Structure 1
Amino acid sequence: MHHVLRRLDLNLLPVFDAVYRHRSVRLAAAELAMSTSALSHALTRLREFLKDPLFYREGHKMCPSVFACQLAPYIAGSLSTLNQHLSPLQPFDPLASTETFRIAVTDYTAFCIFPGLMKETEKMAPDITFELCHLPYNPALKELLAGEIDLALSFSEANEGKHQDLEEVDLFSDEFVVISNINRLSMTLEEYLSAGHVVVTPWNEKKGLLDAHLARLGLERRISLRTPSMLASPHIIAESDLLMAIPALVASKIAELASIKTFPLPFYAPPFTVKIYSHKRSGKKSSTDWLKKVILQSIKEKK
């Protein structure tokens, strides 16, 4: 493997590139901080290795051979790529950045985080963009580990295990409440179980998170409508006798938009924590670390 590169002094490639661009040994030597005799010696070694004159003098200019013209774009491209990827990472500059962040969300996490986040980034980083995507499971582990997304905004319950390659940042805690139409007067466990339910399953699960808690109690609810999005759900609740368990933060907001009533959950379910998930070895760590700080700040200002 790389049998040619093993025999070639790679320091000769910048020499070739500089002479090709400047058409001058003197100017190439000045750029590379070499003496003209040292550069001429390096060029001689490269000619001997490649078995081609590479450059010949015509007046005051060094004109490239046909082979040198064919070789030049490959050497220039390779040097540029190596220089770009081997250079130390520069600090992220939000004001100058045009970066696009690809973030996995659910309706709920986008609803909670992006209104405040967009307000912040419009001032701090006016030219960055976001691409939000819904992924088929929580918390988008495969996509994060493969580098296909930059962050995932999701939630977990207490005592859930952590993945060794992921960083988790806690944003805030929330809990489930029950919403109904405005005509309902009470919410006992018996009434809850006898009603039909709308359940949001953002990762296309067969059942919602609360069904697992009910199963531990030996109970089961009747799911009348399963949907990946909560957008139409409050209006469905307002126009029917169905019930829906949703996070308290969302319930407080949608009560302003739909004729609904809110009740405490009539059985125990632990609160959950909304988190930012990211890869510990992300290639965009400087910019994603900045974004995580801005998300945290936007949450604090909203409280």
Structure 2
Amino acid sequence: MNNVHLDLKRIDLNLLQLFNALYKHGSVSGAAYELAMSPSAFSHGLTRLRTSLNDVLFVRRGAQMVPTAKSIEIADTISLALKLLSETLQRAGPFDPRVSSRNFIFTATDFTAFAVLPRCIAAIEKVAPQVSTRIRYADHSIPVEELRTGKVDFSIGYTMLTSETPPDIQADDWFTDRYVVITRKGHPACSQGLSLETYLAAKHVVVTPWNHARGEIDQLLEDLNLKRHVAVYLPTVLAAPFIVGSSEMLMTLPRLAATTLAQAAEIQIHEPPFHIPDYCIKLFSHSNYAQSDAHVWMAKTLLGTTFL
């Protein structure tokens, strides 16, 4: 069954660019200039568009072309459709970071985003000044379906919270980091360093981005027949350093995140009193898109960014 609207069948889709430009500028001369057309050619195209849509679309009031009710109704949809079409064609064509205005979509937790992304964005901006990035909150450790459908270009994740990677998902090792413990400056129980006894006796703050019942450190302690007292569970890292900095509570987290947080809150960094495996950041993408020029460039730029 053909669901294409009759108006769409008989319209020259190039005329939608005229509509979009005129709606934006409110004048034929301004819209024609944007599209590199003469005002007479633009007016001719507008006449054809009016006939196709059976509406005058714009009426002149002084020096302005004012949209009709129908134009107002369809303007946002036309603008979005043109944007999506442009981005789709741009994805399919050769990618030149120096001139591309491509939008890349990432998922990440705020825990990884605030510590990792600032340097990455700076590296991207130096080479690709018009490229934009959209960061979305990660609903899952690996957003497999979103990567498969192309709704997400890359996901930033870490191995201690990810299960086995599906075969069609590419997982590139980015960098590893060690865990540390943060306390408020001058914590009375840590003046001579942080002992295991002090660690287990203290209250702890834990960030669980997907509302897990417990953090990965708790699983590690359980394997050692040890247990800590988690007093505060948080879905994001934003409040964590300030809670630690104004209380007697402890928090265990990667060193890179801790040093970044130390710039914003009165906290002190300690070595953990037991062995914790390194924290490994990975860059996830889908194999269907991983070999495109744009993805190859972005992956190379990100993986080339150093932190340690």
- Give the shorter-chain TM-score range: 0.5 to 0.7
When residues 100 and 270 of structure 1 are mapped into structure 2, their CA distance, relative to the original with a 3 A threshold, is same
2:95 equivalent to 1:116: no
2:114 equivalent to 1:107: no
2:143 equivalent to 1:136: no
Aligned counterpart, 1:196: 203
* Alpha-carbon distance, 1:259 to partner: 1.7
In structure 1, which of residues 243, 249, 274 is the aligned counterpart of residue 250 of structure 2?
A: 243
TM-score, normalised relative to structure 2: 0.65
Aligned counterpart, 1:79: none
2:175 equivalent to 1:168: no
Rounded Cα–Cα distance in structure 1 between residues aligned with 2:105 and 2:201: 42
* Alpha-carbon distance, 1:290 to partner: 0.9
Aligned counterpart, 2:62: none
* Alpha-carbon distance, 1:159 to partner: 11
In structure 2, which of residues 235, 240, 251 is the aligned counterpart of residue 233 of structure 1?
A: 240
Aligned counterpart, 1:297: 304
Aligned counterpart, 1:153: 156
* Alpha-carbon distance, 1:154 to partner: 0.7
Rounded Cα–Cα distance in structure 2 between residues aligned with 1:246 and 1:187: 15
When residues 229 and 187 of structure 1 are mapped into structure 2, their CA distance, relative to the original with a 3 A threshold, is same
Mind listing any 5+ residue stretches in structure 2 that lack a counterpart?
3-51, 53-87
In structure 2, which of residues 266, 276, 283 is the aligned counterpart of residue 269 of structure 1?
A: 276
When residues 89 and 257 of structure 1 are mapped into structure 2, their CA distance, relative to the original with a 3 A threshold, is closer
Q: Deviations over 1:161-198 (max 9, x none)?
A: 33210111111101211111122323222211121111
When residues 261 and 276 of structure 1 are mapped into structure 2, their CA distance, relative to the original with a 3 A threshold, is same
Aligned counterpart, 2:266: 259
User: Higher Cα Rg: structure 1 or 2?
Assistant: 1
Q: Contact 2:141 / 2:161 at 8 angstroms: preserved in 1?
A: no
Percent identity for Structure 1 against Structure 2: 32
Rounded Cα–Cα distance in structure 2 between residues aligned with 1:293 and 1:194: 45
Equivalent position SS for 1:288: helix
* Alpha-carbon distance, 1:297 to partner: 2.2
Number of equivalent positions: 222
Matched AA of 2:281: V
Equivalent position SS for 2:305: helix
Aligned counterpart, 2:182: 179
When residues 97 and 174 of structure 1 are mapped into structure 2, their CA distance, relative to the original with a 3 A threshold, is same
Equivalent position SS for 1:112: helix
Matched AA of 1:179: I
TM-score, normalised relative to structure 1: 0.66
Q: CA RMSD in A?
A: 2.9
Q: Deviations over 1:11-38 (max 9, x none)?
A: xxxxxxxxxxxxxxxxxxxxxxxxxxxx
Deviates more, 1:101-110 or 1:155-164: 155-164
